[in-house]
Amino acid sequence: RDRPAPREPADPGAGPGRAERIRVVWERVLGAEVGPEDNFFDLGGNSLLALRLLRELRAQGLGEFTPRHLYVHPTVRALVGATGTER
């Protein structure tokens, strides 16, 4: 039988694993392992890396975060929670 092709989510940032995908971007930007409660700035993050991180998150459809979001919510878990959903 023919099966329908799987549908892509309308929002590429939505769906299971969003927090994990955000965490992976943090690791790539920081060049270090990152846990959900690790503070971006304690891991060596600075304003230039913050801008790079936010640009990469936006490019991958994972969120339209501002530098203020990151300063107020400096962990993966807090940043994901700042969007109102952990999808």
List the chain pLDDT tens, one digit each, 87 residues: 666 554 444 444 455 599 999 999 999 999 999 999 999 999 999 999 999 999 999 999 999 999 999 999 999 999 998 874 444
For position 22, which CATH number holds?
1.10.1200.10
In this structure, is the dihedral angle defined by the CA atoms of residues 15, 19, 23 and 29, taken in order, positive or negative? positive
Residue 4 inside a domain? The answer is no
The pTM for the full model equals 0.77
Residue 28 inside a domain? The answer is yes
Contact 54, 67 (CB under 8 A): yes
Query: What's the domain count of the chain?
Result: 1
Residue 5 inside a domain? The answer is no
Residue 8 inside a domain? The answer is no
Cα distance between residue 38 and residue 13, in whole Å: 22
Determine the structural domain holding residue 73 and report its residue range.
18-82
Residue 64 inside a domain? The answer is yes
Residue 62 inside a domain? The answer is yes
Residue 1 inside a domain? The answer is no
